[in-house]
Chains A and B, each alone.
Chain A
């Protein structure tokens, strides 16, 4: 992770570097800014958790990192992956980057799989397309290994998606994402629809994969408590911006931004008497990207808002060792 966010130096040692990224959707009702000025760096082997609620821009950001945005979307800023500028890549270069350098695990494992193909074939496909494995036989052999790595027996290769449980399908998606040995894995809410125990299984799997193959990970979810234990660093997004960033446990336990505080408190610590029979939440709703409030976008819901928050949108500022938060009170 590249320290303070106003550090603009570009060093090629970063696996992924995002610089002042802005993404605006063009809709019939005018431009809708989804991501506004996001910057971060990832070194090889890092793990970054991106947390935020619906409409905060986290999934848009993930899609942008693979250039999967719908046509007509305006982007500015820079995304460099392994020294290559993502937005200036040719279609061929882009295909090479997808899967082999970075790949994504989506939420909703049922929709991400083709229902009329065996999961084995679907895992082989990226290998053959990207020619990381030359023959069908080699690809099948590799799939077998991948299935073993993600905790599925090899006979499941011949199954169709509907014959697998939700947890197994999520494992297939992870195997697929790993098919071409990517350096960076982006996991977009991979556990959201899963049961508690299955979620724990998948999280443990991701942790294990990361440990054994130095995978770089971006993990996106709305559940801060999951991230705090899966990722080393945490970035909290609100209204298209990163509003807090730092080492995960520190951010989770001592949030600097009032929004992070509310988000962390939303999931009570079981056994903590202060949250027993007293759920806490924020009033209001996350803002819609098309109609952001003036000033700090969080001020209408902020329990600590002052007058100046209505006019001033604070940028990220230093909030302790390798931590930053975007709040005027810091």
Chain B
């Protein structure tokens, strides 16, 4: 069982506020060694803010983020932690056009003043990212290679640091459809070969199905459902997850459930269950009166139990 291994990173009741906007509002999450965890949500769900906090680029307002084998850490120290690396949505923007591929991949090592065997390690990282022979790419500039290769360079630049956790922010969203699969395959392969973990932030449920071991669904700053990919994508419990899945063009097994409106402003989070104003279960009026009352007054917590994994009063077996 993976669960008895120490988590790579534990996010404990983390909140991140921007003024009165509660971008992340009490999120707990663990990334286990050797797993791919997909953090799924729409824009405004707080997923990118959360990942920036894990990376140490964003201060948390409450709660804590702990990395393995390390006591509580100040977020500024975390940046220098080569164990957590990041790959980006837009590989073209993530590469300095004035630097060669070699310099780009070697940058992390140079920042850490870790110059031993630099050339060999850069070559290895490029090869591991599927750019072979690496020497051919050393003197090239980003504009001389293709979009897919650029994302491989970004991945190589992260892998050269021997990370234990890779944070991926929409890693394939800006890539052409036919290249997408290649990059996802590479990410999965890195996990399987080296045992690192990936926390991938995405709105793409197909990505989760393609590479993730577990899926967490975020809505308005909160995780509303978490579980194995099969649990979440084949047997979703939270009405938000169900609605999301129903509109993915690739799954037309369910009846489409198009939610009205858009994610509310994180400055005005609805009372009770934050999803209830848009919730198809609540709006249908078929809910038991007691449950419906709870939906408007009480904030449901994510509690994991046998067979259920959602923060929802309507599907929580204990309320039934």
Minimum CB–CB distance for B247 against chain A, Å: 4
Q: Once the chains bind, are A222 and B176 in contact (CB under 8 Å)?
A: yes
Segment touching B, from A100-108, A125-133, A191-199: A191-199
From A195, A269, A301, give the contact of B43 (CB < 8 A). A195
> Contacting chain B: which of A180-188, A279-287, A309-317?
A279-287
Q: Please, which residues of chain B bring their CB within 8 A of the CB of A43?
A: none
A195 to B173, CA, bound (A): 12
Task: Report the stretch among A23-31, A66-74, A83-91, A258-266 that lies at the interface.
Answer: A258-266
Given known A-B contacts A226-B249, A279-B185, A266 and B209 have beta carbons under 8 A apart: no
Of the listed residues A53, A259, A265, the one surrounded by the most CB atoms of chain B closer than 10 A to its CB is A53
The smallest beta-carbon distance between A192 and chain B, in angstroms, is: 10
**Chain A neighbourhood of B176, CB < 8 A:** 53-54, 222, 285-286
**If the complex has contacts A53-B178, A165-B262, A229-B252, are A197 and B210 also in contact, measured as CB distance less than 8 A?**
no
| Contact status B233-A53, CB under 8 Å | no
- In the complex, what residues of B have CB within 8 A of residue A228's CB? 249
Q: Which of B177, B243, B245, B252 contacts A267 (CB 8 A)?
A: B177
A278 located at the interface, meaning its Cβ lies under 8 Å from any Cβ of chain B in the complex: yes
Chain A CB count within 10 A is highest, among B146, B176, B233, for: B176
Query: B146's closest neighbor in chain A, by CB?
Result: A285
> Is there an interface contact between B209 and A275, defined as CB atoms closer than 8 Å?
yes
Instruction: Decide: A201 and B258 in contact? CB cutoff 8 A.
Output: yes
Contacts of B249 in A (CB 8 A): 223, 225-226, 228-229, 267
Query: Is the CB–CB distance between B209 and A282 below 8 Å?
Result: no
Question: Which of B47-93 touch A at CB < 8 Å?
Answer: none
Q: How many residues of B contact A (CB 8 A)?
A: 41
Chain A, residue nearest B40 (CB): A196
B178 lies within 8 A of A286 (CB): yes
Taking chain B's interface residues, is the majority helix, strand, or loop, or is none over half, making it mixed? helix
Of the listed residues A259, A265, A271, the one surrounded by the most CB atoms of chain B closer than 10 A to its CB is A271
Q: Do A197 and B178 have beta carbons less than 8 Å apart? A: no
Task: From A53, A198, A223, A267, give the contact of B262 (CB < 8 A).
Answer: A198
- B21: Cβ under 8 A from any A Cβ: no
- Least CB distance from A1 to B in Å reads 22
Across the interface, do A281 and B185 meet the contact criterion of CB distance under 8 Å? yes
Chain B residues within an 8 Å CB radius of A226: 249
Question: Which residues in A have their C-beta under 8 angstroms from that of B180?
Answer: 266, 279, 281
Within the complex, which residue of B182, B209, B256 is in contact with A281, where a contact is CB–CB below 8 Å?
A: B182
B140 at interface, CB cutoff 8 A: no
The complex places the Cα of A69 from the Cα of B317 at a distance, in Å, of 60
- Cα(A222)–Cα(B247), bound, Å: 17
**Does B181 interact with chain A (Cβ within 8 Å)?**
yes
Chain B: CB-nearest residue to A201? B258
A224 within 8 A of B: yes
Quick check: is B179 within 8 A (CB to CB) of the other chain?
Answer: yes
B106 at the interface (CB under 8 A from A): no
Contact A282/B234 with A167-B262, A200-B256, A267-B206 known, Cβ cut-off 8 Å:
no
With contact pairs A197-B258, A200-B258, A285-B148 given, residues A277 and B211 touching in the complex (Cβ less than 8 Å): yes
Given A53-B177, A271-B251, A286-B178, check contact A281 B183 (CB 8 Å).
yes
How far does the Cβ of B276 sit from chain A's closest Cβ, in whole Å? 16
Would you call A281 and B181 a contact (CB within 8 A)? yes
Min Cβ gap B218→A in Å is 12
Name the residue on A nearest B260 (C-beta): A201
Instruction: Give Cα A193 to B221, complex, Å.
Output: 21
**A233 CB, min distance to chain B CBs, angstroms:** 17
Given the complex of chains A and B, what is the CA–CA distance between A301 and B181 in angstroms? Answer: 14
CB distance from B195 to the nearest CB of A (A): 16
Q: In the complex, A266 Cα to B251 Cα: how many Å?
A: 14
How far apart are B174's CB and chain A's nearest CB, in angstroms? 10
**Which A residue's beta carbon lies closest to that of B233?**
A270
Q: Contact between B245 and A270 (Cβ–Cβ < 8 Å)?
A: yes
Task: State the Cβ distance, A196 to closest chain B Cβ, in Å.
Answer: 6
| B203 proximity list for chain A (CB < 8 A) | 195-196
**A residues in contact with B243, CB < 8 Å:** 197
Q: Report chain B residues within 8 Å CB of A270.
A: 205-206, 209, 233-234, 245, 248, 250-251
Q: Is B301 an interface residue (CB 8 A)?
A: no
Task: Determine if A290 is an interface residue (Cβ-Cβ < 8 Å).
Answer: no
Closest to A269 in B: B250
Most buried by A among B233, B248, B263: B248
Check A200–B188 contact: CB distance below 8 A. Answer: no
Q: How far is the CB of B132 from chain A (nearest CB, A)?
A: 12
Which A residue sits closest to B229, measured CB to CB? A276
The verdict on A266 contacting B181 (CB below 8 Å), with A196-B247, A197-B244, A285-B146 known, is yes
B43 to chain A: closest CB distance in Å? 5
Residues of A contacting B252 with CB < 8 Å?
Answer: 229
Which of chain B's residues have a CB closer than 8 A to the CB of A167?
262
Give Cα A285 to B145, complex, Å. Answer: 10
Q: Which residues of B contact A201 (CB under 8 A)?
A: 258
| Docked pose: A198 CA to B43 CA in angstroms | 10
A275, B262: Cβ atoms closer than 8 Å: no
Could you list 5 A-B pairs, sorted by A, with CB under 8 Å? Answer: A197-B259, A269-B251, A279-B210, A281-B181, A281-B182
10 more contacts with CB within 8 A, not counting A199-B247, A281-B178, A282-B181, are A195-B203, A196-B205, A200-B258, A204-B256, A225-B249, A228-B249, A270-B205, A279-B185, A281-B181, A281-B182
Spell out A's residues near B (CB within 8 Å). 53-54, 165, 167, 195-201, 204, 222-226, 228-229, 259, 262-263, 265-271, 275-286, 301
The 7 closest A-B pairs by CB, nearest first: A281-B181, A200-B247, A279-B184, A281-B182, A285-B146, A225-B249, A279-B210
